């Protein structure tokens, strides 16, 4: 159940006048007639429902009785928000403000394993022939060994057609599943939608709130003509609580497409530069899926009517751009003893008066599978102070580090975009900037790749696929808490 007092922003001892004032204040910021942002509309519906219950004495008494019995003694996780500046200047022009939003798990939680409903989708097109497919089979075998009889497994192989090798069912016979995977032979072209559709159908056979429902896609090629169908299917997966993680082997796959596919569901995409590391990525993904504080985590963002959310980027547990086209943002998971972190970029309007003003209301939700709770929510309302001459402040190191590394990632992305549109001078300049900053930070290998690509684009007018992916995912991995 939701904490209606937290939803409305009042204490459990609030008087009727307090409840009425809180509702009116929320309406002035979030009512759909005033605020067109989709996050405002969905949050205001919840606020209205909370107000209707708490403003009725009989309904409130019944709710209070249930609340005492059902709400956890301590929160499973909380929201911590760090702005790039705590005080902003009064200016007659727009400003950009960054918010580091962290979902912080209770470090004392004792978590049991979450049952998995896992579908593995393996590309068996001609280009996978040889070591790529063989290493993928070995990795799949190891993954199966790490599953339990409480987990549900299905396996789909695809090229231009899909074949269900292991139908969705609780994993009772590991050897039989491994034998079926061993039979995969390479041949045909790559049509990802065929594989995803079969995977979705298998996953749906056991999809339920009590499982961590997930699809893992492994591919080495580009799909042609079915990208929109695949993305539409990913949106359907997201609506039904199924995540997608995508692993691209080699250099020929479409990284922008796999990024989009994963971000639509709160999953992640990964660059596998060698078939030998497929196993490590699968093992890491399995560990995170099987032992999370919360699954199907979302972040609803409701900015004030005059504020624009320009973009969002998840920093942890895995670095991934997030889609801001709809609300809520699909975050994925909260892992034990690791803050799930997102950076929001806000464009503020001209600030013409001193004092405090509200910025954005955040609602994080997730399913606590190991404690049989769904849609657990925490709320944060963020405001900021404006002054004519703000005092000098030391900006938080945590957000400075994150923004510095995120800047590197974005510069290399802009270099690739410049090369695609034929602006070779701009692409070269940005790659040289990336190389210099990487070298200054001690990332010599990545710096050398960036400098080599700067020379390449200057002479051939193109960035190599290998260099593009190495820089894109290399700078992205720098954003991880471990700094890898």
pLDDT of residue 76: 95
- Domain-terminating residue out of 377, 393, 409: 393
Please, which residues bridge with residue 80 across strands? Answer: 102
Say which CATH number the domain at 311 has: 2.60.40.1510
Residues 242, 371, single domain; the answer is no
- Domain-terminating residue out of 270, 288, 306: 288
Residues 137, 275, single domain; the answer is yes
Residues 380, 408, single domain; the answer is no
Please, which residues bridge with residue 120 across strands? Answer: 155, 216
Residue 484 lies in a domain: no
Residues 268, 347, single domain; the answer is no
Residues 222, 341, single domain; the answer is no
Following DSSP, what letter does each residue of 325-349 receive, concatenated?
Answer: SSSSEEEEEE-TTS-EEEEEEEEEP
Residue 131 lies in a domain: yes
Average pLDDT of the segment spanning 383-409: 90
Count of helices and strands (H, E) across the chain: 14, 16
| 120 within 8 A of 162, measured Cβ to Cβ | no
Q: pLDDT tens digits for 452-482?
A: 999 999 999 999 999 999 999 999 999 887 5
Average pLDDT of the segment spanning 11-30: 95
Domains identified in the chain, total number: 4
Residue 482 lies in a domain: no
Say which CATH number the domain at 265 has: 3.40.50.410
Which residue range(s) make up the domain with 157? 114-288
Residues 176, 282, single domain; the answer is yes
How many Å apart are CA 462 and CA 467, to the nearest integer? Answer: 10
Residues 11, 89, single domain; the answer is no
Residues 337, 274, single domain; the answer is no
Residues 136, 93, single domain; the answer is no
Q: pLDDT tens digits for 140-191?
A: 999 999 999 999 999 999 999 999 999 999 999 999 999 999 999 999 999 9
Whole-structure pTM value: 0.91
Quick check: bond before 328 cis, omega within 30?
Answer: yes
The residue among 177, 183, 195, 199 whose CA lies nearest residue 133 is 183
Residues 279, 146, single domain; the answer is yes
How many Å apart are CA 70 and CA 438, to the nearest integer? Answer: 50
Residues 124, 32, single domain; the answer is no
Task: Provide the 3-class DSSP secondary structure of residue 355.
Answer: strand
pLDDT of residue 482: 57
């Amino acid at each position: 159940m939701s904490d209606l007092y937290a939803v409305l922003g009042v204490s459990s001892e609030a008087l009727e006048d307090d409840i009425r004032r809180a509702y009116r204040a929320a309406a002035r910021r979030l009512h759909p007639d005033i605020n067109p942002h989709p996050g405002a509309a969905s949050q205001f519906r919840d606020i209205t429902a909370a107000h209707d219950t708490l403003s009725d004495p009989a309904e409130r008494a019944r709710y209070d009785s249930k609340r005492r019995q059902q709400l956890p003694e301590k929160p499973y996780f909380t929201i911590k928000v760090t702005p790039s500046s705590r005080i902003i200047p009064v200016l007659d022009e727009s400003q950009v403000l960054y918010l580091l939003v962290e979902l912080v798990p209770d470090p004392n939680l004792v978590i049991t394993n979450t049952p998995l409903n896992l579908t593995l989708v393996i590309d068996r097109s001609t280009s996978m022939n040889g070591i790529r497919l063989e290493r993928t089979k070995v990795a799949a075998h190891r993954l199966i060994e790490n599953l339990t009889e409480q987990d549900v497994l299905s396996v789909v192989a695809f090229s231009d057609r899909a074949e269900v090798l292991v139908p969705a069912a609780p994993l009772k016979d590991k050897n039989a599943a491994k034998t079926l995977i061993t039979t995969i032979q390479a041949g045909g072209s790559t049509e990802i939608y065929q594989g995803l559709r079969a995977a979705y159908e298998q996953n749906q056979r056991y999809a339920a709130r009590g499982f961590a429902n997930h699809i893992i896609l492994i591919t080495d090629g580009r799909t042609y003509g079915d990208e929109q169908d695949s993305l539409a299917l990913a949106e359907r997966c997201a609506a039904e609580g199924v995540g997608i993680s995508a692993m691209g082997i080699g250099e020929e796959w479409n990284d922008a497409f796999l990024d989009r596919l994963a971000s639509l569901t709160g999953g992640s995409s990964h660059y596998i530069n060698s078939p030998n590391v497929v196993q490590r990525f699968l093992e890491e993904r399995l560990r995170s899926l099987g032992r999370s504080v919360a699954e199907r985590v979302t972040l609803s963002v409701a900015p004030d009517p005059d504020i624009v959310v320009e973009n969002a980027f998840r920093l942890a547990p895995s670095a991934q751009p997030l889609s801001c086209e709809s609300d809520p943002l699909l975050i994925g998971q909260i892992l034990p003893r690791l803050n799930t972190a997102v950076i929001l970029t806000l464009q503020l309007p001209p600030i013409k008066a001193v004092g405090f003003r509200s910025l954005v209301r955040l609602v994080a939700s997730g399913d606590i599978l190991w404690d049989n709770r769904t849609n657990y929510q925490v709320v944060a309302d963020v405001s900021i102070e404006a002054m004519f001459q703000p005092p000098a402040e030391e900006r938080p190191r945590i957000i400075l580090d994150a923004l510095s590394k995120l800047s590197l990632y974005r510069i290399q992305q802009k270099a690739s975009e410049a090369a695609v549109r034929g602006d070779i001078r701009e692409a070269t300049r940005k790659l040289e900037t990336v190389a210099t900053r990487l070298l200054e930070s001690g990332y010599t290998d990545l710096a050398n790749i960036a400098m080599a690509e700067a020379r390449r684009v200057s002479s051939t007018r193109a960035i190599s696929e290998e260099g593009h992916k190495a820089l894109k995912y290399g700078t992205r991995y720098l954003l991880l808490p471990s700094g890898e």
